[in-house]
Amino acid sequence: MFNQLLNIVSSTHWQENSHPKNCTKQVLSWLLDEVSLTKKLEQRCEKFTVEVKQQLNTNTNESTLSQLFPAPEQVLVREVLLHCDGIANIFAQTEIPFQTLSNKQQKLANIGSESLGKFLFQNKTLQRGKIEVAEFVVGSELHELCGSLQQSCKHSLWARRSLFYIENKPLLVSEVFLPASGIYK
């Protein structure tokens, strides 16, 4: 069943590696950290799991997508929650152009509840583009998501996104730090 993609692109302003006002040093240290977020979360909990919310094929004309890939490009979009000990810590949305899903990267379309981070960071050809950060003020769609997860949130949520390249083929990973992530303390 198709659910509407969560709009984490056009509902905010993404900024490159800057220190946005309202962002604490604690939060910024998580946003700009270039190590695998999966690995970092695994170290903080006993059981790390990935819950696939939806995965669908669409095209770059979809208004909720990044527009970083040429139109009209077909893309696979994957939305997941990363859980630590059964509690959602991160909402992640990945855009993978069909051109990226060739050869060895075809596996990306079928990883199910496996961690995308594990797949990416094990690849020797992995390159990461610049990290961009964004603030989602109270009342955003992401705050509605927090409510549906029984996570109260009366402050801004922060996110990061990066283009990754595997064998020079791009994909975009956007990660939103939910209240339970613990970075807002």
The pTM of this model reads 0.92
**Residues 151, 24 contacting (CB under 8 angstroms):** no
Provide the b/e sequence for 68-82 (b: ≥16 CB within 10 Å). ebeeeeebbbbbbbb
Beta bridge partners of 165: 127, 170
Q: Which fold has domain 15-181?
A: Chorismate lyase (3.40.1410)
Q: What is the pLDDT of residue 22?
A: 83
pLDDT computed for residue 18 by the predictor: 72
Alpha helices in the chain (DSSP H): 25-31, 37-44, 116-121, 141-148
Q: Residue 3: its pLDDT value, please?
A: 60
Rounded distance, CA 185 to CA 181, Å?
A: 9
Which residue ranges make up each domain of the chain?
15-181
Report whether 178 contacts 143 (CB < 8 A).
no
- Chain-centre distance of CA 25, in angstroms? 21
Q: Running along the chain, 185 residues long, what does each successive block of 10 average in pLDDT?
A: 64 78 91 94 96 90 79 89 97 94 88 93 93 92 91 94 94 96 92
What confidence score (pLDDT) does residue 73 get? 80
Hunting for tokens 């998580």 — which residue is that? 30
- DSSP state, 4? P
pLDDT, residue 11, reads 66
If you ran DSSP here, which 8-state letter would residue 177 be given?
A: E
